[in-house]
Amino acid sequence: MSHYDDRETRAAGAREDELFARLPAQIAHAKANAPAFAGLLADVDPEAVTSREALARLPVIRKSELLERQKAARPFGGFAAAHWGRDCRRVFASPGPLYEPEGARADYYRLARALHAAGFREGDLVHNTFSYHFTPAGSMMETAAHALGCTVFPAGVGQTEQQVAALADLQPNAYTGTPSFLRIILDKAAELGVTPSFTKAFVSGEAFPPSQRDALAARGIQAYQAYATADIGLIAYETPAREGMVVDEDIILEIVRPGTGDPVAPGEVGEVVVTTFNPDYPLIRFGTGDLSALLPGESPCGRTNLRIKGWMGRADQTTKIKGMFVHPSQVAEIVRRHPELARARLVVDNPGLNDRMTLHCESAAADDALAAAVAASIREVTKLRGEVAFCAPASLANDGKVIDDLRKYD
């Protein structure tokens, strides 16, 4: 079967009707069971929100606001309807920190649809290298693979030689993880004389340009990508047509002008805003902070849902490095920990297509001990390794930029 289910190929109008027929009940549920929405949507009649025009009149909840509300009301800022126990199996912490509940439903993040489009099938052995601690990426992939009938080896990140040893012993045919870590494993396998068994891969968390896709294909690995977040789960996914990403069946996606809630014209780049039907975490008009644009027409693969170009950058200065979001507030926290620092700017680049971040710090007291202490703070605050570069006081540009993403994917 080339499609996950018949919903993917239904008439576009039928999908739109079904989504907006479901929406009033979801808004009512959010108001009744998520205290934050009870306040934000106090004057909203759920039964009146049955069109995109009506939905566009509701407020957008952005990650920055979610973070601030969570700080004021732990753990979920009043946005979750789930409670500890049977309806909340796990809770995760993404950088910020932002806390996300994972409910008890099978394929909670709805990624099975995307894995199916990538060729994953019952009986596959999936080598899952996404993290299994703090952040939900490992669980996101594992629960989706299990929904398809796959077996999962929970490899997690790091320990490259042990990864290759498991590859040699178990012969998994499928990989999930970041594209950069897949390259690292393949290179280490070649160094150790191990022939990789992967024939398919599902990657996310980083940019995946055609040059990387073609390089993997030359090594016998067909790789596909998806766009998903810890808050929403699956948003859109690549298909064999390789023309943009098809939007998931169980969300309402809008593209809005950054900083507003106003939908932009088709084809115009704007912020991705998502409304989910998740009963445990009923986010209504959640601004992801990611930029994208709608593509015209339908996919040649036969799926009829909207398509987006994929991830096109950030609407704010928050960026994603090795699958982890890094926020301007985290840069500020690092500076606060070290009185010797005046201002700082996090510069992100990718020499050799490997993400690297360097914190450029203004300081009159720069030395090796301070550099080591700042590097330790970077690791503790962001959960990523970063380099430190000192510069003279008042030498950084006075333009308000805290994170400067210079990565190129040519």
* 116-140 pLDDT tens trace: 999 999 999 999 999 999 999 999 9
Among 113-122, 196-205, 255-264, the least confident range: 255-264
What is the per-residue pLDDT for 371? 97
Strands (E), 180-221: 200-203
Domain 105-230 fold is Rossmann fold (3.40.50)
Residue 193 pLDDT level (bands cut at 50, 70, 90): very high
What is the per-residue pLDDT for 251? 98
Q: Is the pLDDT of residue 400 over 60?
A: no
Q: Is the pLDDT of residue 307 over 60?
A: yes
Q: When comparing pLDDT for 269 and 296, which is higher?
A: 296
For residues 174 and 167, give the distance between their C-alpha atoms in angstroms, rounded to a whole number.
10
> pTM of the full predicted structure?
0.79
What are the φ/ψ torsions at residue 161 (nearest 5 degrees)?
-65, -40
For residues 103 and 280, give the distance between their C-alpha atoms in angstroms, rounded to a whole number.
6
Mean pLDDT of 226-251: 96
* 209-228 pLDDT tens trace: 999 999 999 999 999 999 99
| DSSP three-state, residue 396 | coil
- Considering 9-23, 309-323, 329-343, the range whose residues carry the highest mean pLDDT is 9-23
Roughly how many angstroms between the first and final C-alpha of the chain, as a whole number? 35
For residues 328 and 326, give the distance between their C-alpha atoms in angstroms, rounded to a whole number.
7
Strands (E), 238-352: 245-247, 251-256, 270-276, 286-292, 294-295, 307-308, 319-321, 324-326, 341-349
Domain ranges of the chain: 11-82+247-314, 105-230, 319-405
Same topology between domain 11-82+247-314 and domain 105-230: yes
Q: When comparing pLDDT for 339 and 207, which is higher?
A: 339
Helix (H) or strand (E) holding 37: helix 35-40
**Percent of the chain, pLDDT > 90?**
79
What is the per-residue pLDDT for 312? 81
* Both tokens assigned to 276: 């989910």
Q: Which CATH number fits domain 11-82+247-314: 3.40.1360.10, 3.40.50.12780, 3.60.9.10, 3.40.50.10310?
A: 3.40.50.12780
Residue 317 pLDDT level (bands cut at 50, 70, 90): confident
What is the per-residue pLDDT for 13? 97
Among 142-151, 160-169, 332-341, the least confident range: 332-341
Q: Is the pLDDT of residue 171 over 80?
A: yes
Mean predicted lDDT score pLDDT of the chain: 93
Among 4-13, 88-97, 324-333, the least confident range: 324-333
Residue 72 pLDDT level (bands cut at 50, 70, 90): very high
Domain 319-405 fold is GMP Synthetase; Chain A, domain 3 (3.30.300)
Residue 40 pLDDT level (bands cut at 50, 70, 90): very high
What's the Cα-to-Cα distance from 183 to each of 23, 131, 204, 306, 319, rounded to whole Å? 42, 17, 13, 31, 22
